[in-house]
Structure 1
Amino acid sequence: MRKILAALLLALFASTAAQAKWYEASSEHFVIYADDSEEDILRFAENLERYHSAMSLVTGRAIETPSPSNRVVIFVAGGKGDMRELTGSRWVGGFYVARAGASRAFVQTIRNKSGYPHFSTVILLHEYAHHFLISSARHSMPRWLGEGAAEFFAASSFDSEGGMQLGMPARHRANEISYAGIPPVEYLLDPKAFVESDREASGSFYGASWALFHMLIFDDARKGQLTSYWRLLNEGTDSLEAGKQAFGDLEQLDKDLKKYLKQKRMSLFRIGPDQLTTRPVTLRELPKGEAKMMDVRIVSQHGVTREEALDLVEEARKIAAKYPDDAGVQVALAEAEFDAGFNEAAIAAADRAIALDPSRPNAYVQKGYAQFSIAEEAEDKDAAYATAMETFSALNRLENDHPVPLIHYYRSFVERGAEPSETARHALERASQLAPFDKALAMNAAMMQAGEGKIALALVGLSPVANNPHGGELADTARLYVAQLEKAEEGTPWQPEEGEAKATGNEAKDPVAEGAAKKPTGS
């Protein structure tokens, strides 16, 4: 088993640890932590905001500005070797974990190259495209459409003048398409046709999905067909039938797609700087103690086992002992203590952080997590959960749309065996609205609604979970519940049929951007 010792931490960041200056770049939708030059970090943050604006412009969709803690936090973890140490895999170029109030992306060293982006940047753009599309749509996409759209947007480049190109040919899929070929479109449209063990067919799924999406966007002969397909899906038509109605003869579509890929030139969106709307990026150099704690923080927020956490907290304590007056250090220590199961120590560190700087949301989160953990075993559960909710109420006052206090308000009823109040039920629904990308949270909100007899709402909430191709057991359970709910009567409280699987709340890994959520999701 891979152990996280001081030696590993040194190996993970050996190339930059000695004189590293860490910076935090804060923007409307992102927070970036990197030990790079101020110029490169600012440019990287500005490019990501331009990307968000371009996606909004092209799709015609807008998403509610996230609360500060619900932004995507990006850790620049180093080169290939550093990523390998962090993940335990030689194949991972970067990854993203979607969690309510704690969405995290881990990427390699910043490469602000002109023209086609570095593959680690492509991974980040691909995953943020998923994040954006899920956050801006009520209905879930079939797998080919979700992946095709993410690949379409990820193939983007940024101009030095402030503009960008979006929807470029996906060069990172060229070999895949060349060697594996394009499977029949029917295979893409019909989820039942996808068989993981069929390497010949599945090998070019991402490339083929990109190609079909790109053609439907730019081919004049097929203008409007993608919109028709999406409308049919929203009306309840299954993907294959919707494709036949919207695209016409699928064999002809196969021929047209192969012909489309043989073109020497392809269309793309060229977007000028005057078309993009972004707000300024704020850059902060981290104090010395907080900078020294960054490698611990990265490993902790990546997710650790209990054994790894016990090693990691020792390193965190050594750093914290040298910087007792650094609020950022104390917050990171609180998280490491909680991960290791030392709840009282986590609360003490969080209290020190709050005393030093009461504006640190994660200090309240870690304190609240630890208090909830203590409340599970408390004799007077009502009093214990009330104490824990005082912490989350303080966080709610600090950041009204932080989803974690809303989730835990609902949990404070359920976990002590009490009937959730109407306000608690609304809180869980609101949290799911604020973080639609958190599949475990969506599952729990949908199950609550189903229990109230809100069958239609529950089906809407479960659909993205059930259609998640990388959702594992959670997706399997959601599909089972969807099948049962489709037979249920609106207005009649529903519970899973006895003997059937229960929701697990575990998020599975995405093969494009592998990573596992080991932190509490609030679900």
Structure 2
Amino acid sequence: MKQLALAACVAATFLPATAMAADWYKAASPHFVVYAKDSAKDLETFTSRLERFHEAMALVTDDTAPAPSPSNRVTIFVVSGSHEVRRLHGGGDKYVNGFYVPRAGKSLAIVPNLQSTSGTPDVAMITLLHEYAHHFLLSGQSLTMPRWMSEGAAEFFASSTFKRDGGILMGRAAQHRGYELFNAKSVPVEDLLDPELYEAHRGKGYDAFYGRSWLLYHYLTFTPSRKGQMRAYLTRIAQGTGERAAAEEVFGDFETLEDELDDYLDQRRISALNLSPENLPAVAVTITRLREGEAEILPLTIESRRGVDSEAAAEIVPEAREIAARYPDDPAVLSELAEAEYDTGHYDAAIAAADRALAADPRTVNAYLQKGYALFAKARDAEDADAEAFKAARAPFLALNKIENDHPLPLVYYYRSFAEAGVKPPELAVQGLERASELAPFDLSLQMNVATTLIGLGKGNRALRHLQPVAYNPHGGSQARAAHALLARLEAEPDWTGEDLGQVLSLAYRSGDVDTAQ
């Protein structure tokens, strides 16, 4: 998956708190939480469009999954512009138009503006729709997609037009890929369907992988003679057939498919799905204005949510303390202070701030998390750490579980409270860990952790479904190779209990990453 990376806003880049506090709004809907310094009307329209996009994908894919728990929604931060997005993204990529990080209970995205008008989305919105399509497909599809199909599907769904009457034209021509389709180095069908061949042929420059993936996906979707082939292809892969062999069995001769695909591209008109507003029911969006303290702390909150190194954490914590001194009873301010203290290793201060946040509002989710993290860290650091210390550490997570039963992180840390204490986790804890991965299937690091845990417990057969999406992650790098290695080992030794698990993983992670993002 082309990771959009979520970054945080350094406080100095924003307007002073007194000028910005009244302008920040939060939109909440079944699948999204959006923060923006914009008009409430534009924010509501933007969020409603995202919900209609979700409903359109669900309609097209026959997905009937229930809405996620509140903390498992995608949180989107709208910043001041593309330059801010690129600064926050880091790495010097001048083409970044938005980014996304999938995490259990904390998935994030950043975009540069609210595009609330009808019509074809701009590049930033297309990027967001592309990444949300990945999120959606990982969350609801039972069969794992190879890289070309994963990217082709995301391009297919992201190429949508929002109509004024509330309908959506989905699967239209991917005009943003037009230049690469006709000018970039072409990628033959055979290379798309044989990942080893693609890696052998691809150069360091930009090629048409994304455009050709979209074209093949679109062609297989709308061509009557190819109806049902993508499902059959995925089924064969799930049954253990290699990608190339599965493609040959289902799609037939690659040269014939190549010729058909070229003819398809040369058509003057192309099909799309015209979804009427009657099929995309309106979803309630709640708009609230951020409190003054909540608005002032928001830039630091974004930065902490993105993840910080020790240097950035050291810069954030004094600012968080200053804001908390001005707003000593604001739960959002105090929970961010708790996170800032935790990030700098001040665990007792983090616990104290979290307790103050919970006293102000007992439903402050992040306060439970930060208190739990700090208690786990103290238990690990203690010379005489034992099961009792980790039992105490899991208490905030148990309290959060009572408030939000389907939040994945309490389930993860319930299991870890046993494992890190050196105590064999009860089956209930193992089941809870698996349940967490079901609630957050888009978090591939969690899937990998669950898989290795199950292997170590002698439950390799239950690990397979967690390894497959990791192995086929188009930008998984060494983690994807590690998942492939584990799948191969389990295929050769179904009863393997991971005695040399560390060695297998070490070899995979040392083999070097290939960055395939474009």
Q: Give the TM-score, by structure 1 length.
A: 0.91
Q: CA deviation at 1:174?
A: 1.0
Residue in structure 2 matched with residue 49 of structure 1 by the alignment? 51
Describe how 1:272-311 pairs up with structure 2 within 5 A.
272-311=276-315
| Residues 267-288 of structure 1 deviation map (CA, whole Å, 9 limit, x = unaligned) | 1011111101343011111101
Q: CA deviation at 1:500?
A: 2.8
Residue in structure 1 matched with residue 120 of structure 2 by the alignment? 116
> Of the candidates 99, 107, 111, which is equivalent to residue 107 of structure 1?
111
The answer to whether structure 1 residue 424 and structure 2 residue 426 are counterparts is no
| Contact 1:450/1:495 (8 A) holds in 2 | no
For 2:413, the aligned partner's letter is: H
Go from structure 1 to structure 2 and tell me whether the alpha carbon gap of 1:121 and 1:7 turns closer, same or farther (over 3 Å shift).
closer
| Residues 282-316 of structure 1 deviation map (CA, whole Å, 9 limit, x = unaligned) | 11111011011111111111221111110011111
Describe how 1:113-512 pairs up with structure 2 within 5 A.
113-195=117-199, 198-199=202-203, 203-378=207-382, 379-490=384-495, 493-496=497-500, 499-502=503-506
| Contact 1:139/1:460 (8 A) holds in 2 | no
Q: CA deviation at 1:19?
A: 3.5
| Contact 1:180/1:200 (8 A) holds in 2 | no
Go from structure 1 to structure 2 and tell me whether the alpha carbon gap of 1:125 and 1:40 turns closer, same or farther (over 3 Å shift).
same
In 2, Cα distance between equivalents of 1:248 and 1:170: 26
For 1:145, the aligned partner's letter is: M
In 2, Cα distance between equivalents of 1:321 and 1:511: 46
| Residues 428-459 of structure 1 deviation map (CA, whole Å, 9 limit, x = unaligned) | 11111111111111112112222333333212
The number of equivalent residue pairs is 503
| Contact 2:120/2:160 (8 A) holds in 1 | yes
In 2, Cα distance between equivalents of 1:510 and 1:106: 22
Q: What runs of 5+ residues in structure 2 fail to find an aligned partner?
A: 1-7
Q: What runs of 5+ residues in structure 1 fail to find an aligned partner?
A: 1-5, 514-523
| Residues 461-486 of structure 1 deviation map (CA, whole Å, 9 limit, x = unaligned) | 11111111211222222122111111
In 1, Cα distance between equivalents of 2:370 and 2:200: 39
For 2:241, the aligned partner's letter is: T
Q: In structure 2, the residue corresponding to 1:101 is in which secondary structure? A: coil
In 2, Cα distance between equivalents of 1:511 and 1:497: 27
| Contact 1:53/1:278 (8 A) holds in 2 | no
In 2, Cα distance between equivalents of 1:207 and 1:67: 35
Q: Give the TM-score, by structure 2 length.
A: 0.92
Q: In structure 2, the residue corresponding to 1:78 is in which secondary structure? A: coil
Go from structure 1 to structure 2 and tell me whether the alpha carbon gap of 1:498 and 1:52 turns closer, same or farther (over 3 Å shift).
closer
| Identity among equivalent pairs (%) | 47
Q: CA deviation at 1:32?
A: 0.6
Go from structure 1 to structure 2 and tell me whether the alpha carbon gap of 1:461 and 1:37 turns closer, same or farther (over 3 Å shift).
same
Q: CA deviation at 1:60?
A: 1.0
| Contact 1:211/1:257 (8 A) holds in 2 | yes
Q: CA deviation at 1:225?
A: 2.1
Residue in structure 1 matched with residue 3 of structure 2 by the alignment? none
In 1, Cα distance between equivalents of 2:444 and 2:257: 33
| Contact 2:43/2:116 (8 A) holds in 1 | no
Q: In structure 1, the residue corresponding to 2:115 is in which secondary structure? A: coil
Q: CA deviation at 1:37?
A: 0.7
In 2, Cα distance between equivalents of 1:199 and 1:46: 41
Q: In structure 1, the residue corresponding to 2:19 is in which secondary structure? A: coil
For 2:234, the aligned partner's letter is: W
Q: CA RMSD in A?
A: 2.3
Go from structure 1 to structure 2 and tell me whether the alpha carbon gap of 1:483 and 1:218 turns closer, same or farther (over 3 Å shift).
same
Residue in structure 1 matched with residue 19 of structure 2 by the alignment? 18
Larger mean Cα displacement after TM superposition, 80-89 or 311-320? 80-89
Q: CA deviation at 1:265?
A: 1.1
